[in-house]
Structure 1
Amino acid sequence: MIVKVEFMYDKDTEYISCPAKVGRNIRQLQRDFDKWLYNRENNHPYWVAAAEDEEGNKIYGVCFNAEAFVFWLNNVRFNKGKKVAKLIETPNKLVKKEN
């Protein structure tokens, strides 16, 4: 299944190829990904220091694109060793879902 991924702050469109069982649940998976992504207890490469508070403590934000979602699908959510999703440049099939 091909899933079209668009970000509100970015005009680029990216596409993910995944099995139908993943694509059918893409909205719930996106919500689970968001929870994981913004949880400061999760050590992932998408954290960026955005500023410092008055005491000099760093304030973090996240910087990511569809590659982060594919990483999470393959290494966190479905971590059985088989890759369930991959980014593709141009779909050769019709897009079934939009995320």
Structure 2
Amino acid sequence: MLCNKRIEEQETFLDNLLERVSLFLLILDHITDPHNVGACLRSAAAANVDAVIVPKNRSCHLTPTVRKVSSGGSELVPFVVVTNLVRTIKKMKLSDVNI
């Protein structure tokens, strides 16, 4: 799967993702350093994470530095930007996702 752009809170994408039986997500909150986000994306790609979820505010998004540090990880893992991280986690719990 190639995903070279961020996914701006697409409800259908999240709903389809939550329908999976086995789900492995990485949620990043208040990570503002692009080098740290890139390293997380690189690790997420190596661990076969289904998606990386970050809040819209107070977080680093996909920048050229993040893409470079991720060493291709940003191209392999969907990067989902959500408006409200707490609401998204509650939605996951309602969908029986183990948190």
Which structure shows the bigger proportion of residues in strand conformation? 1
- Using structure 1 for the length normalisation, give the TM-score: 0.24
Higher helix share: 2
TM-score between the two structures when normalised by the length of structure 2: 0.24
Return the index of the structure with the highest Cα Rg.
1
